[in-house]
């Protein structure tokens, strides 16, 4: 009896908050059983918020494309406004992939720590696959510490220069704080160029001798040096060849 009363109350609230047209469209496309099945498993207010802020097609696709057990965890562990933002800006395909790849507790932790906007920026720039690869390689805590310390505009180039495994090795051998320190000291573009030109292993070896501050100071010192021109020996050699040819011509002349 309680279940029947609850179902009637929920149906009336949908009619009141969404209006008859949208409510009946949802009931028709999802079916009463499917809609009230998930209503029993999640906070009813959260589901109502999603219904109010997503289009009928978005709601239907969300509920039909993600397995119910996964969707229940996602709704329960995500602020409703964040979930709406993900659907609008990320797309259901990527949202489904993330919901199935990350534990509900980690979803909640990521949302709370760096927010939905930053998450969408990272996913859009480096892709869901690479994001999950980094998350799995370095762990949720290191991932969040790194994304908090570096703006997205700096984190994205870093992921292009370092594989997830290299980033994990750097954190393991050195420290996570050393990465943003080097990027801030050299500038992200210069740090990325250093990694690409010198190579990851050599940079790690250098950092075992010089800390980031000392390495930055060394590079600044080298930039101020006036090194001998590398073209002078080549110029002398060219002049010697010209003199030798002139001598040969003199010998041949009568």
The mean of the pLDDT values for the chain is 82
Return the structure tokens found at 76.
């329960």
Average pLDDT on 231-245 reads 57
Largest CA distance in the chain: 127
Which residue is associated with the tokens 């010089």? Answer: 210
pLDDT over 90, % of the chain:
40
Return the structure tokens found at 162.
């370092």
Q: What is the pLDDT of residue 4?
A: 43
State the Cα–Cα distance between residues 28 and 67, nearest whole angstrom. 20
More confident residue, 35 or 170: 170
State the Cα–Cα distance between residues 63 and 161, nearest whole angstrom. 38
State the Cα–Cα distance between residues 180 and 5, nearest whole angstrom. 57
pLDDT digits (tens, 9 = 90+) for 184-214: 999 999 999 999 999 999 999 998 898 888 8
Helices then strands (H, E): number in the chain? 18, 0
Instruction: Report which of 120, 141, 119, 143 is spatially closest to residue 133, judged by C-alpha positions.
Output: 143
Model confidence at 60, pLDDT cuts 50, 70, 90, reads confident
Contact status, residue 137 vs residue 167, Cβ threshold 8 Å: yes
| DSSP assignment string, 211-250 | -HHHHHHHHHHHHH--PPPTTHHHHHHHHHHHHHHHHHHH
Average pLDDT on 124-128 reads 92
State the Cα–Cα distance between residues 18 and 32, nearest whole angstrom. 15
More confident residue, 39 or 57: 57
User: What's the pTM value of the predicted model, to 2 decimals?
Assistant: 0.74
Q: What is the pLDDT of residue 47?
A: 81
Residue 82 has pLDDT above 60, yes or no: yes
Contact status, residue 174 vs residue 141, Cβ threshold 8 Å: no
Which of 2-16, 71-85, 176-190 is predicted least confidently? Answer: 2-16
């Amino acid at each position: 009896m309680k279940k029947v009363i609850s179902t009637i109350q929920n149906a009336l609230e949908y009619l009141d908050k969404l209006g008859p047209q949208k409510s009946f469209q949802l009931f028709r496309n999802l079916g009463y059983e499917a809609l009230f099945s998930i209503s029993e498993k999640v906070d009813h207010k959260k589901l109502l918020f999603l219904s109010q802020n997503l289009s009928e097609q978005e709601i239907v696709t969300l509920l039909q494309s993600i397995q119910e057990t996964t969707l229940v965890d996602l709704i329960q562990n995500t602020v409703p406004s964040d979930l709406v933002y993900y659907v609008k800006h990320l797309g259901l395909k990527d949202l489904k992939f993330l919901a199935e790849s990350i534990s509900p507790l980690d979803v909640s932790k990521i949302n709370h720590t760096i927010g939905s906007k930053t998450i969408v920026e990272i996913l859009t720039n480096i892709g869901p696959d690479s994001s999950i690869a980094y998350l799995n390689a370095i762990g949720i805590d290191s991932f969040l510490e790194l994304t908090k310390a570096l703006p997205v505009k700096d984190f994205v180039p870093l992921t292009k220069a370092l594989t997830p495994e290299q980033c994990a090795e750097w954190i393991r051998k050195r420290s996570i704080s050393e990465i943003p320190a080097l990027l801030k000291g050299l500038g992200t573009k210069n740090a990325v160029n250093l990694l690409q030109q010198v190579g990851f292993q050599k940079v790690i070896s250098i950092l075992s001798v010089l800390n980031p501050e000392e390495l930055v100071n060394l590079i600044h010192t080298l930039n101020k040096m006036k090194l001998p021109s590398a073209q002078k020996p080549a110029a002398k050699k060219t002049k010697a060849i010209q003199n030798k040819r002139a001598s040969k011509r003199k010998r041949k002349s009568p």
